[in-house]
Chain A
Amino acid sequence: GAGVSQSPSNKVTEKGKDVELRCDPISGHTALYWYRQSLGQGLEFLIYFQGNSAPDKSGLPSDRFSAERTGGSVSTLTIQRTQQEDSAVYLCASTRGVWQFFGPGTRLTVL
């Protein structure tokens, strides 16, 4: 596709379960970013990849959150033992140069 895609678009899970969120960046884009958008917190940076390396993980809120990127392409954000405060929209963006292109997001609801 032409844009950044994310899956699933919606995810409802029970507290304590693990979830995986997927991001497919635009082909050829070397940098990839994860952000979280929640009510009252706005849009927060989580982690940044350059190729398969993550030089900046400073926004990950706890050690329950992890992310990886393989082949310089697809990235997966994993949240272990989900909590209700993890409920948010998780957005992925990719870039080649200064312009960032965002995906539609994954809405995560933790019951």
Chain B
Amino acid sequence: KQEVTQIPAALSVPEGENLVLNCSFTDSAIYNLQWFRQDPGKGLTSLLLIQSSQREQTSGRLNASLDKSSGRSTLYIAASQPGDSATYLCAVSPSNTGKLIFGQGTTLQVKP
């Protein structure tokens, strides 16, 4: 059974710092991996999607990497801003159906 773990559960950093969020998964047979952002009381917003054949994806200040063989992904946020404060969720798709298995999330607070 696929399990997704995110470390740390919570993180507080001063504005301007670069930071890394970690995600690990137990079964390397994945179709893709996605990173989402969730703001309190709102739905999820997809940030980055990495196909199983890819190693990384970048969008603005965000960079996500994937090491499928070791079952790990990282989300790198450069020059963090208070507006980045949210919960970040990692999810893997075990097949091309789109079904997602989520980690518990990392709650990030960026202090001005």
A44 surroundings in chain B (CB, below 8 A): 102
Do most interface residues of chain B lie in helix, strand or loop, or is the interface mixed?
strand
By a CB distance below 8 angstroms, the chain A residues around B41 are 104
Residue-wise interface mask of B (88-103) relative to A, using a CB-CB cutoff of 8 A (1 in contact, 0 not): 0101010001111111
Give the residues in chain A near B74, CB-CB below 8 Å. Answer: none
Q: Which of A45, A50, A55 has a CB less than 8 Å from the CB of B100?
A: A45
Taking Cβ atoms with an 8 Å cutoff, the residues of B that contact A are 32, 34, 36, 41-46, 49, 51, 89, 91, 93, 97-105
Contacts of A93 in B (CB 8 A): 44
A20 within 8 A of B: no
CB distance from B66 to the nearest CB of A (A): 14
Q: Point out the residues of chain A lying under 8 angstroms from B51, CB to CB.
A: 98
Decide if A91 touches B103 in the complex (CB within 8 Å). no
When chains A and B are docked, how far (Å) is the Cα of A44 from the Cα of B104? 10
Q: A42-B105, A98-B32, A99-B49 are in contact. Are A104 and B42 (CB under 8 A)?
A: yes
Q: Are B43 and A100 closer than 8 Å at their CB atoms?
A: no
